[in-house]
Structure 1
């Protein structure tokens, strides 16, 4: 009877199952967060070209049109209809030295843990030829695995804040050169 090991595998699996599945889910969550960040960054990069080359200005894009251009590059992985999740800000700045991304949430959120909504105002000012433009996109990506020490959420509501920013000088379109 002392040598009977018929349930040893089940007991060992029971002991190791929680850490094993925690690590598996942490790997999957990490992959999904990085994948989402890359998709958002790529969509902002591709849509910024419309502004940089003057195509958006020539076509008379509005903020909603530009939002649609970004959403086309998100391949349906993001909820583009909810402005509480996706905020886009396009502003013209004086020069590259003055490029500073916005604070997307209220800084008191980190202290109090409340009011962690996106506070960056949505604007669309694509500028004219040779303008320096700052394009910012922020998205609250939902996290699935919210375990202690394996939590990718950066916001109180269990989401992770993703950001993509581009600063560029528009081509000299419309100036006859």
Structure 2
């Protein structure tokens, strides 16, 4: 009986922490959808991403508005190529670079960020520029045909 009560308590603690993390704007996990960031941005799940949906997606954090590397450069105020704990503390959301400190030395290097970004173009450039790149007919909506074209061009990875 004690172990069941302990598990129930653990469950409550873990789920309460998760709810709190969501409430304070954390980095969303990678999209389980087939279109990476566009799957996350497609709030109504109609297969297209409107500019309004994309703007909502970009509000999740400056790393989406500026790109992960450019945001790093903005936070690296002493320009030493590393984010100290103090510099990382200014990142919003606070856990933006948590999964980037690969060597766990408490600092995030620019090289670690570049490695994390990899070939994901949407992480290399400002979010608004990325939307404009994919919206080839300039109608403020990225359609399934434009998504497919971006995948063929290597601008959006297939999952």
Q: What is the TM-score of this pair, normalised by structure 2?
A: 0.30
TM-score, with length taken from structure 1: 0.28
More helix by percentage? 2
More strand by share: 1
Larger Rg over CA atoms: 1
